[in-house]
Amino acid sequence: MERYRAIIDDWDAFRAALMTPQPTVVRVNTLKAGVDQVRARLEAQGFRLTPMGWNPALLQVDDGPFPVTRTLEHWLGYLYAQEAAAAVPAMALGVAPEHRVLDLSAAPGGKTTQIAEMQGDRGLLVANDPQPPRVQALLSNLYRLGVLSTVVTSLDGRRFPASAAFDRVLVDAPCSNEGNARRRSGAARPFHPRRAAALAQLQQSLLVAGLNLLADGGVLVYSTCTFAPEENEAVVDAVLRRARGAVTVAAPPDGLPGIPGITHWEGQDFDPALALTRRIYPHHLNSGGMYVACLRREGPLPWPAPPPEEAAPLRADPDLTRRFVDWWCRRFDVDPERFAGLHAYLRGGDLWLSAHPEVPGLRGLQAVGLRVLRGPGRPGRGDGGPARGPAAGGAGFDGWKPTSLALMHLAAGARRNVIDLDDGALQSLLAGQRLGFDRAGGAAPVDAGYVALRWRGEVLGCGVVDGRGLRSALPQGRVQELLSCLEAERRAESGPPAT
């Protein structure tokens, strides 16, 4: 880190920050709950929280009885654990609900979900990542937080199809990760010129690709979590020179944290406008490090554009949407207004719900909004539940399995086919036991088939009622996470062991 001494505003504070543990910060998912509501719930469990004034949705966790990521609130999607500096690139985009946005390197989803929240889950948001395992992490977070406005793709960002222009593009580029040194107790990988040069080449390629996909007048945010000018200002400067005025550096939004980017480094002069970019060091926000540059495309770019790919857009089926909403509202007796502005897609034998009546027909498409029903006989259901029922063109969906995450987000307030569990019943179901169940009893009418499981007023996911009783149909991964939350809560309530 010594090589950065001359460009860091307070070297002693920087070094001190690197050698202290990085605090946990969570972002409240404002699509599901208000900041004050979530804060009150966490404080009632013994967490001490400090709001971060520059972003009201961020709460620093100063103390708590157990990790905040093991709370029910996190499991339900009310929270996303996100370090403070990592929230800055999405803020720099300045998105509006009507914008078409591309997150070119989206996994694991912190910035993507933050953008969706800033758009009120209404704008078209394409979230891309080239690595399938990381796409699964991205999908998991999108589903957990209940985001419906995304289209998820898995493509090499350098060759993302030029089939549509976006109003905003985020290029959160792979980098040397020096800004994450605090996560490794102050240890940072030594700077290697060859590695930095290879990364810079990749970063420039991603930045050029992102600009190709940006509409004239649109804004691209380039960000990394490293301190190295070779991967930050030098990359942006090289692309600005190639663009010959077609791309300019835009002033960041008011209130964006950080200090100005540098315009000189080791004998090299950069475009003076790079002083408008932002460097965030660990002592600024008690976080990791981040570099953020806002670029505006002013007009046609002076390099050959990739040929556009003509792909027919995907359109939702209004009749399918109507039949699904009618069935869901009858099955769970919920208010149909909850589905206003949502649209159904049938893909891969499953039914998906999106905020958009039409989405781009992109290569590498993985998801459109939230998967809400798994079709009869679909692999991966893993619940042994009923597989009867008509195909999508039939009259109903009685043989289709509601996904647990869809129930969690779309069955709140259910008055039918919902079963309220006490603590003992929940533990038994999570342990894989079947419970005797009298469908004539209970507070809500219950029919055979898939039902919503509710505990402490929160819908947890899917169960199955048949002639032998009730059992859980929650995915095993979610079951294990919930058991971990319950164990953390139990230990906190029981207090420290006697000495």
Partners of 50 in beta bridges: 60
Kindly give the pairing relationship between strand 264-265 and strand 214-224.
unpaired
Alpha-carbon distance values, 266 to 4, 12, 191, 228 (Å)? 11, 22, 15, 12
* Closest by CA position to 244, among listed 300, 319, 200: 300
Cα angle, residue 372 at apex, residues 371 and 376 outer, rounded to 5°: 100
Q: Which helix (H) or strand (E) holds 172?
A: strand 166-172
Q: Is 225 a catalytic residue?
A: yes
- CA pair distance 100, 95, nearest whole angstrom: 9
Any idea of the CA torsion for 312, 318, 319, 324, to the nearest 10 degrees? 110
* Closest by CA position to 27, among listed 117, 150, 143: 117
- CA pair distance 100, 147, nearest whole angstrom: 15
- 8 Å CB contact between 198 and 33: no
- CA pair distance 323, 393, nearest whole angstrom: 9
Q: Which helix (H) or strand (E) holds 440?
A: none
- 8 Å CB contact between 387 and 401: no
- CA pair distance 130, 126, nearest whole angstrom: 13
- 8 Å CB contact between 21 and 52: no
Q: Which helix (H) or strand (E) holds 220?
A: strand 214-224
Annotated catalytic residue, options 225, 294, 462, 485: 225
3-state secondary structure of 81: strand
SS3 content of the chain, % helix, strand, coil (to 5): 35, 25, 40
452's torsion region: left (phi>0), alpha (psi -120 to 50) or beta?
A: beta
- 8 Å CB contact between 454 and 421: yes
**481 Cβ partners below 8 Å, 6+ apart?**
75
3-state secondary structure of 191: coil
Looking at the annotation, which residues are catalytic?
225
